[in-house]
Amino acid sequence: MIDIHCHILPGIDDGADRLQTSLAMATMAARDGITTVIATPHTDGVIVNQRVVQQAVDQLNTELTGQGIDLEIAAGYEIPAELVCDLQSHTIADSCYVLVEFPHQYLPEDAVETLYTLVQAGKKPIIAHPERNASVLRNPDLLRELVAVGGMVQLTAASVTGDFGPDIQHCANYLLRNQLVHFLATDSHSPTFRKPVLSPARKAAARLIGREEADRLVVDNPKVILNKSV
């Protein structure tokens, strides 16, 4: 499995606070059967810039090799929607995919336009955890228009397993059943805050949409991002 959204880099954002935390997260991920984690710190493009992130990724990969932890880290970013058109060169894992975070309380009026602008520029926007967005929670069908213009949808694994409560789980399940989901990812921030594991969500999704479709969300689709197409 490949985790495309994780705050595993130490001391960069509100994720892992230090190297030991990153290593604990990496150990959990590897034990869960995750082979690659795309590190996606929150970025404004200034303090958390491409040089800083790549350096942190290289350092963590060196530590993982040294400690014998069988996990690879790739560089990525989680970009606020209002900055994403300016920061569209900040793709994940050197691909054409960008991870976009809309505000949690509402979907901006220009959400469709933002995604369309990215698609026109040759990018593939991935909408981070829309099932946790208040507007989408009220009306999950709002996502249909975003997907229609080329947006892809990433659910948080903990939403699917019910760790965010029944409302968010219900929304996640609705999106899964309606084929509006392209990725499951951990959005992990520490070994305990949204754990860096995917297999419980993979199992829960398989019960809803079948094993093959569930595997697509944690194996096949993420592999396309890493250019290891199946």
Measured from each CB, the residue nearest to Fe ion is: 187
Mask for 57-96, x = binds Fe ion (CB under 5 A): ---------------------x------------------
Query: Distance between CA atoms of 135 and 146, rounded to whole angstroms?
Result: 13
Pick between residue 3 and residue 78 the one whose CB is nearest to Fe ion.
78
Pick between residue 13 and residue 213 the one whose CB is nearest to Fe ion.
13
Q: Are 6 and 196 a contacting pair, CB within 8 Å? A: yes
**Radius of gyration for the alpha carbons in the chain, expressed in angstroms and rounded:** 16
In the bound complex, what is the minimum distance in angstroms from residue 14's beta carbon to Fe ion? 9
Contact call for residue 187 and Fe ion (CB under 5 A) = yes
Pick between residue 131 and residue 187 the one whose CB is nearest to Fe ion.
187
* C-alpha torsion sign, points 127, 128, 134, 137: positive
Pick between residue 40 and residue 169 the one whose CB is nearest to Fe ion.
40
What beta strand segments (E) does the chain contain?
2-6, 36-39, 72-75, 78-80, 97-101, 124-128, 152-156, 183-185
In the bound complex, what is the minimum distance in angstroms from residue 221's beta carbon to Fe ion? 18
Q: Mapped to the 3 state alphabet, what secondary structure does 35-100 carry?
A: CEEEECCECCCCCCCHHHHHHHHHHHHHHHHHHCCCCEEEECCEEEHHHHCCCCCCCCCCCCEEEE
Pick between residue 66 and residue 83 the one whose CB is nearest to Fe ion.
83
Contact call for residue 131 and Fe ion (CB under 5 A) = no
In the bound complex, what is the minimum distance in angstroms from residue 212's beta carbon to Fe ion? 27
Q: Pick the piece of the chain touching Fe ion (CB under 5 A) from 153-161, 163-171, 187-195, 212-220.
A: 187-195
In the bound complex, what is the minimum distance in angstroms from residue 159's beta carbon to Fe ion? 12
In the bound complex, what is the minimum distance in angstroms from residue 68's beta carbon to Fe ion? 28
In the bound complex, what is the minimum distance in angstroms from residue 178's beta carbon to Fe ion? 24
Beta bridge partners of 98: 125
Q: Are 196 and 37 a contacting pair, CB within 8 Å? A: yes
Mask for 21-60, x = binds Fe ion (CB under 5 A): ----------------------------------------
Q: Look at residues 205, 152, 160, 161 and name the one whose alpha carbon lies nearest to residue 180.
A: 152
In the bound complex, what is the minimum distance in angstroms from residue 189's beta carbon to Fe ion? 8
Q: Which amino acid is at 8?
A: I
Per CB under 5 A, residues contacting Fe ion are 78, 187
